[in-house]
Amino acid sequence: MTSTHDDDFAEIRTSVRALCARFPGSYWRELDRERRYPQAFVDALTEAGMLAVLIPEQYGGSGLGLAAAAAILEEVHKAGCNGAACHAQMYTMGTLLKHGNAQQKDRYLPEIAAGRLRLQAFGVTEPTAGTDTTAIKTTARRDGDRYVINGQKVWTSRAEHSDLMLLLARTTARDQTAKRTEGLSVFLVDLRESVGKGLTIRPIRTMMNHATTELFFDELSVPAANLIGEEGKGFRYIIDGMNAERILIASECIGDARWFIAAATAYAKQRVVFARPIGQNQGIQFPIAKAYAGSEAAALMVREAARRFDAGEPCGPQANMAKLLAADAAWAAADMCIQTHGGFGFAEEFDVERKFRETRLYQVAPVSTNLILAYLAEHVLELPRSY
Ligand SMILES: Cc1cc2nc3c(=O)[nH]c(=O)nc-3n(C[C@H](O)[C@H](O)[C@H](O)COP(=O)(O)OP(=O)(O)OC[C@H]3O[C@@H](n4cnc5c(N)ncnc54)[C@H](O)[C@@H]3O)c2cc1C
């Protein structure tokens, strides 16, 4: 199956494909059954330097940019693997890179680039605030040269498999700030020092193998030196990192869509019913062709968003549209793929049902479809704010 930009980063794509071939469906099925973390796969990507492509060379990364990172994650998903176990190791450090001080960057970035430190957890979402991030209730109270954290986070993915975590907390009460986006701060929390000393992590079992958790903070003490940027400006820092995250997750969705289309096409060619391959019927062909057209169109938006990001151009609308269109394309392709497989779409050994469950997430996280539509309506089309 050809696609519109297979030639971008051809060498990187070939290396990723070779690496992923060592982790076939049987590997993922076994982990999925027991909801275990794909440590061997993450180690392989780390050793190959794939998770350090966004870190500048001066800190030991390859500084290749977002389009290269997108190509890696797309290939991972196209191969039937799942980047969710470690994709955040690529981009969470962006907040530190952009807003951290020289000392913080010199201390952490080379270790992250070398894979010796994992910074792949970020705690933003809370149970009562949901999408309304400025309503979070977790607080950080200054106490001499430390901050004391109290509150709760939910859906903090990979917290059990990360050394460090970016945490958003309120340092000034919402009713004491001029704007609700003020008074929030970002901290780098060393999870190794925190668990059992004011931080409790509880895993949440989900419909797919995602290593997500909820966190409880009870007087957790964090050095003031771990504040990123200025106190009270954390909301902007988190927003800054969102475009990269959305573009990278969109590229995973493109990979998923391509996996579903390839699987459906192969099955439609070989499955014979009524003495003909099912793929000879237009009722089977057309949904596959439609999914293909949709995923190729979405891929162009992902590519444009990544190009703008790497060029330092504004890319908010493109990053959001890329995430929306790619998640929709992946979900449409998933539905088509199950239908093409008939009953076998539900059988574990075909991997279709696993990928179907995995790709469903991206209608909701890291930002839900509705919130992207609301963003486009308000910020691009200048319609009145709806919430
Ligand atoms: C598996 C998983 C992993 C995650 N990992 C992380 C992580 O690592 N770190 C982290 O901080 N968060 C993480 N999240 C949280 C994720 O970002 C949120 O689930 C997502 O942003 C939606 O928030 P919510 O679940 O609170 O939904 P809610 O805000 O409660 O919304 C529920 C529904 O209502 C809709 N809705 C809400 N308000 C409006 C409105 N004004 N207009 C129209 N529709 C609206 C939403 O679109 C959604 O469909 C993860 C979530 C999941 C499920």
Q: Do residues 269 and 300 both lie within one domain?
A: yes
Which H or E run includes 201? strand 199-204
Residue 334 lies in a domain: yes
Contact 292, 329 (CB under 8 A): no
Task: Name which residue sits closest to atom 41 of ligand 1, judged by CA.
Answer: 387
Ligand 1 atom 48 nearest Cα: 368
CA distance 157 to 152: 14
Residues 165 and 76 in one domain: no
Domain annotation covers residue 85: yes
Number of structural domains in the chain: 3
> What is the number of H-type helices and E-type strands within the chain?
13, 10
Would you state the pLDDT for residue 54? 98
β pairing state of 227-228 and 184-190: antiparallel
How close is the Cα of 321 to the center of ligand 1, in Å? 17
Please check whether residue 5 lies inside any domain of the structure. Answer: no
Picking from 43, 78, 113, the residue at the C-terminal end of a domain is 113
The verdict on 255 and 340 lying in the same domain is yes
Residues 82 and 178 in one domain: no
The reported pTM is: 0.97
- Domain co-membership, 230 together with 164: yes
Q: What is the pLDDT of residues 318-330, one digit of tens each?
A: 999 999 999 999 9
Q: Is 374 contained in some domain?
A: yes
In single-letter form, the type of residue at position 286 comes to F
Task: State whether 22 and 54 are in the same domain.
Answer: yes
Report the atom number in ligand 1 closest to the C-alpha of 366: 17
**In sequence order, what are the beta bridge partners of 212?**
204
> DSSP string spanning 118-170?
-EEEEE---TTTTT-GGG---EEEEETTEEEEEEEEE--TTGGG-SEEEEEEE
CB 37 within 8 A of CB 162: no
Residue 202 main-chain phi, psi, to 5 deg: -125, 125
pLDDT tens digits, one per residue of 73-115: 999 999 999 999 999 999 999 999 999 999 999 999 999 999 9
| CATH code, domain with 320 | 1.20.140.10
Does 359 share its domain with 247?
yes
Question: Is the pLDDT confidence value at 8 over 90?
Answer: no
**Confidence check: pLDDT of 2 > 70:** no
Residue 4 has a pLDDT of: 59
- Residue 62 domain-assigned (yes or no): yes
Q: If DSSP states are collapsed to H, E and C, what string results for 262-331?
A: HHHHHHHHHCEECCEEHHHCHHHHHHHHHHHHHHHHHHHHHHHHHHHHHCCCCCHHHHHHHHHHHHHHHH
Q: Is 1 domain-assigned?
A: no
Say if residue 43 is in the same domain as residue 61.
yes
Average confidence (pLDDT) over 283-292: 98
Among 94, 113, 132, the domain-final residue is 113
* CATH number (domain holding residue 215): 2.40.110.10
The answer, yes or no, to whether residue 6 has pLDDT greater than 70, is no
Query: Which residue has the least CA distance to atom 13 on ligand 1?
Result: 155
- Cα of 338 vs centre of ligand 1, distance in Å, is 26
Rounded to the nearest angstrom, the distance between the alpha carbon of 47 and the centre of ligand 1 is 33
Same structural domain for residues 240 and 370?
yes
> What distance in Å separates the CA atoms of residue 175 and residue 183, rounded to the nearest whole number?
10
Of 88, 113, 138, the residue at which a domain comes to its end is 113
Same domain, 218 and 129: yes
21 and 49 co-located in one domain? yes
Would the pLDDT of 5 be above 70? no
Is there a catalytic annotation at residue 245? yes
Question: How many Cβ atoms are within 10 Å of 18's Cβ, its own excluded?
Answer: 11
DSSP at 377:
I
β partners of residue 205: none
Catalytic residue of the set 245, 252, 296, 358: 245
**219 within 8 A of 318, measured Cβ to Cβ:** no
Q: What is the mean pLDDT of the chain?
A: 97
Give 123's pLDDT tier (boundaries 50, 70, 90). very high
pLDDT in tens, 164-213: 999 999 999 999 999 999 999 999 999 999 999 999 999 999 999 999 99
Q: Residue 88: give its domain's CATH number.
A: 1.10.540.10
Structural domain of residue 140, as residue ranges? 119-234
Distance 157 CA to ligand 1 centre (A): 13
Are 164 and 227 members of one domain?
yes
What's the average model confidence in pLDDT over 279-297?
98
Residue nearest to atom 30 of ligand 1 (CA): 130
Pocket (CB within 6 angstroms of ligand 1): 122-125, 130-131, 155-157, 206, 210, 212, 361, 364-368, 370-371, 374, 387
Does residue 109 sit within a domain? Answer: yes
Question: Side-chain half-sphere of 81: how many Cα atoms within 13 Å?
Answer: 27
Q: What is the pLDDT of residues 48-65, one digit of tens each?
A: 999 999 999 999 999 999
Quick check: 3 pLDDT over 80?
A: no
d(CA 33, CA 51) in angstroms, rounded, equals: 26
The predicted-structure confidence for 125-154, as pLDDT tens digits, reads as follows 999 999 999 999 999 999 999 999 999 999
Q: Is residue 153 part of a domain?
A: yes
**Using CA atoms, how far apart are residues 150 and 169, in angstroms rounded to an integer?**
9
Mutate to test the pocket of ligand 1, among 37, 95, 155, 252 (most ligand atoms within 8 A of CB): 155
